[in-house]
Structure 1
């Protein structure tokens, strides 16, 4: 597995490189956000420090997510929950706080890769694109989402969450069911990540779906009716 490590602290980076290499990972190390965005060799997962010398790591996270769906794990000494939430909103798949052990990082890498490789979810992936109302189309085979004929860029876990909730529109699904299906039973991060991803979907797909929160239980996805639907792919 190929890892792009974006970390300007040399002792931390060298320790991670040695540890990851012992477990069979191939590590490409860069020290700046610019170098990360210019890195042209293929990689399977990104370990991204937020405290970079040339730019804020959150900006790099956003730019990397715009480039594709490769899993991103943020590594940072910042303990503020706001940074965690913002990182997740920008498309990070997980967040590790310094100090951390190499084994913890490896466990998180394996978890996000396991979830990424599981997409698209279920047997529905073998079918053609699914229509939800006049504007929303989910192509599970290609793991792509379209709104009014235009592709909507979703973070990997945003797509997984939408695909899962949309399997049964109108059904109330518990938080526990969602976390287990979308993040798996061994999720390491805060459960608040679910609320963050729901908020992102509401914002990006507000004209096509409604995601109702039922306090103390979970969430229900409703399709917004109306329109001609002629502009869907």
Structure 2
């Protein structure tokens, strides 16, 4: 049975979420305090964490950051905050989804199931794979040989394209702005500008995506940057 942790200080909303997930046979734990919820998330084993942003003691942003620093588990933010900057910040700290209150409980359950299934596929794909190889669905990236395969067919990336792909694949479900990617891969002291990030992402998509116009690996999060989806 899948285990879900819900960190929500409004008892009515927390119990509503718990009831709907219980109907779908999930084991649900409730926490009404940010500090308690964070400790539970880090020291107990859950398949999904749902977190509000406005919490006593530790807010949802900090919870997202701490969980993502230590764990690979899907995180869903459910919040009354509707500002675009809050969503961008949440994605940037590692949240997989952002649901605005009021919400449809059935939609929340559907989204949760989809994210858990995606993480399960990622974990299955990495079993029995050498530690220097990243395997995500039909994509395989061998870090030591700098070789990339899609459906067991090799595709050829430049050195920088390979660096971008590896970096994003090793940080799945996190949103990185163009500035962040430029700093991580090229360094701010290098010659060039962040426009090169867009060019490299476009070229990578042409080589690894079945439909570059509708990417399944490197998604564009409008107004925020790019996210590698597992």
Please state which band the TM-score falls in when normalised by the shorter chain: 0.5 to 0.7
The answer as to 2:74 corresponding to 1:71 is yes
Residues 14-44 of structure 1: CA distance to partner in whole angstroms, max 9, x if unpaired? 1111111011111111112211221122101
SS at match of 2:85: helix
Residues 45-86 of structure 1: CA distance to partner in whole angstroms, max 9, x if unpaired? 110100101122111111111111201000001111110111
Please point out which of 115, 119, 134 is paired with 1:116.
Answer: 119
SS at match of 1:3: strand
TM superposition shift of 1:197: 4.2
- Greater RCO (Cα-Cα under 8 Å, separation 6 or more): 1
Please point out which of 193, 196, 210 is paired with 2:221.
Answer: 193
CA contact (8 A) 1:157 1:197 kept: no
Residues 75-110 of structure 1: CA distance to partner in whole angstroms, max 9, x if unpaired? 001111110111011110000001112101101101
CA distance in 2, matches of 1:46, 1:85: 19
Q: Which moved more, 1:168-177 or 1:78-87?
A: 168-177
The number of equivalent residue pairs is 176
> Compared with structure 1, are the counterparts of its residues 123 and 192 closer, same or farther at alpha carbon in structure 2 (3 Å cutoff)?
closer
Please point out which of 166, 169, 173 is paired with 1:156.
Answer: 173
The answer as to 2:72 corresponding to 1:57 is no
| Unmatched runs of 5 consecutive residues or more in structure 2 | 123-134, 147-157, 182-199
| Corresponding position of 1:88 | 91
CA contact (8 A) 1:157 1:182 kept: no
What is the RMSD computed on CA atoms of the aligned residues? 3.5
- So what's the TM-score if we normalise by structure 1? 0.63
Dislocated runs of 4+, deviation >4 Å: 137-140, 172-176
CA distance in 1, matches of 2:166, 2:69: 19
| Unmatched runs of 5 consecutive residues or more in structure 1 | 146-153, 184-190, 202-233
